[in-house]
Chain A
Amino acid sequence: MAEAETPVAPAKLEPVRVYRHRLPTRLWHWINAATLLVLLMSGLMIFNAHPRLYWGEYGANFDRAWLVIGSTADAGYLRVGDWKIDTTGVLGRWTDAQGAVQTRAFPGWATIPTSYSLADGRRWHLLFAWLLSIGLTLYMLWTLIGGHLRKDLHVRRAEWSPRHIWHDVKEHARLRFPRGEAAARYGILQKLSYIGVIFVALPLMIATGLTMSPGMNAAWPWLLDIFGGRQSARSLHFITAWALVAFFLVHIAMVLLAGPVNEIRSMITGWFRLPPERGA
């Protein structure tokens, strides 16, 4: 802890800044954000080629799908199991930018490219998958070697207590975020979220993605055993993608609620201004 040589300053007026995010974290964060956006949107294009999901090794039009985005003569729908909901305008039946009615699953504004092209969707997806994989591998190594995992993300014994976790949940629900020194560290929910994304969700995306490759199935047939077949892997790939979207929405909400300028600036410059203690 190095203190600048300023004389006793009126602490109330001098915001306390901490160097919160090191360069690899900032770099990976933004590269990864852009990469995941491309992967999501091109992935939705690929899904549009066959908007049905199955469990097991095989699954095609004549087999029972557990999830379908489809259309009838005049409506779009989403069916999950036996539960069906009308999604006209958004899924299954929507109007494109030129005013034409389309009956693809996900709408043009959500896909890369905008109008249907499985070939182009695959080109974006299969190139950016490399960025994700290489970036994630390097970042994982850095969190291990650079101490980020041990110092910032490691969940300490006391934090595992249900009482502590429940307290943090309540504080978040009340939108009471840590202030002062405590704001410089990650809370238990933050730690679990980041660990979950970096070490569970993103590796799962890559592994289930590889399991869909017939070439990789020949090289590493155990991938099929882990995920219960190619179509199960495809379903898990889809579910995990939406889990990441859910993480993104909560993440953005928290940034907005905790002070967007300060939060985003810290992910650009590294410097985070500690919110003053309550009553200070």
Chain B
Amino acid sequence: MSKVILPRRQLIARAGGLIAAAGALPLLPGCDAINDAPAVRKILSMGEEMNRAAQRALIDRDALAREFSRAELSPYFRPNGTRLPAGAVYAAHAAGGFADWRIRVAGLVARPLSLSMADIRAMPQRTQITRHDCVEGWSAIGQWTGPQLSGILAAAGVRDSARYIVFRCADRLGDALYYESCDMVDALHPQTIMAWALNGALLPIANGAPLRLRIERQLGYKHAKYVNAIEAVASLDGIGAGKGGYWEDRIDYEWYAGI
């Protein structure tokens, strides 16, 4: 560090910076105006893009979420979001043990499918004990069983032009049925399964019966419950308001929820 002894100098000019710094304090109550400004929102959304790009670069396509032992299961797996879809149609399905539930596989596929729960259970199965991370901050560990989404997409002959997979759900939240989407990296990931069992029993209604998505490297709201359609699309533009998911379209949750 260089040390210089200087003759006297005016100090007032240098206090200018101090006053400028103090001047920023009254801005604090204006924070919400800043938060709501369109330009600021645009800048804020850069973070999502940076996180997605960084994580896609850093995480191997097939890098697995940690799997746990049965001893590490949460004593109770907390349900969240819809706990019981409203309406007579769903109630009738539930009363009938979802025997007539169909999962439509459509969009950019060579062979559109309409799968029953028996079809789903007849496919090769994967069982995994993973940690579910809610965007709110809590975590629960559960054991999930179901076919890999990649197997379902292969059976339907998903086309190369498909860039996203959209999940349609039977639960209505406010003004719309729930929906979510993911890109092909996560759709084809080995741990991405359509689960019909939790902890060795049929999936409870509160957790998404009869079928829900498990997309283990992303947060809980991506894990669509009560799924009745799987669509392959080239763009998210025509889905809801175009951001790819129910919460993404309504309150600006990130579409890429790996963090």
Contacts and interface: CB of A to CB of B under 8 A. Distances in A.
Q: Which of B46, B131, B251 has the most CB of A within 10 A?
A: B131
A62 B247 CA distance: 25
A217 B204 CA distance: 27
- Assign chain A's interface to a size class: 35 or more
Interface string B43-67: 1111110110001001110011110
Given A1-B3, A59-B139, A215 B14 contact: no
Nearest to B58: A219
Interface in A10-24: 14-20, 22
Given A57-B131, A115-B32, A126 B259 contact: yes
Nearest to B56: A215
A255 to B, nearest CB: 11
Given A14-B8, A114-B32, A126 B74 contact: no
A58 B139 contact: yes
A214 B65 contact: yes
Contacts of A119: 247, 251-253
B6 interface: yes
A271 B3 CA distance: 10
Contacts, number: 189
A122 interface: yes
Contacts of B15: 261, 265
B2 A219 contact: no
A219 B55 contact: yes
B74 A63 contact: yes
B194 interface: no
Interface in A47-103: 47, 49-50, 52, 57-63
A264 B18 contact: yes
A113 B48 CA distance: 18
Given A60-B139, A127-B47, A230-B131, A17 B6 contact: yes
A40 interface: no
B48 A123 contact: yes
B2 A1 contact: yes
Contacts of B17: 264-265, 268-269
Contacts of A234: 137
Given A215-B55, A230-B139, A122 B3 contact: no
B218 interface: yes
A209 to B, nearest CB: 9
B4 A4 contact: yes
B4 A217 contact: no
Contact of B258 (A20, A58, A214): A214
A122 B64 CA distance: 25
B168 interface: no
A226 B78 CA distance: 26
Contacts of A152: 1
Interface string A255-266: 000000100110
B78 A123 contact: no
B139 A231 contact: yes
Given A9-B7, A269-B14, A112 B47 contact: no
Nearest to B50: A130
Contacts of A118: 135-136
A115 B7 CA distance: 52
Contacts of B60: 218-219
Contacts of B78: 60-62
Q: Which of A1, A20, A122, A231 has the most CB of B within 10 A?
A: A122
A61 B138 contact: yes
A24 to B, nearest CB: 13
Contact of A4 (B7, B46, B68): B7
Contacts of A58: 72, 74, 131, 139-141
B50 A215 contact: no
Which 10 A-B pairs rank lowest in CB-CB distance, beginning with the nearest? A215-B258, A127-B47, A50-B137, A213-B259, A268-B17, A60-B138, A49-B136, A60-B78, A219-B59, A123-B44
11 contacts: A6-B7, A16-B5, A58-B131, A60-B76, A63-B74, A212-B137, A219-B58, A219-B63, A261-B15, A265-B11, A268-B14
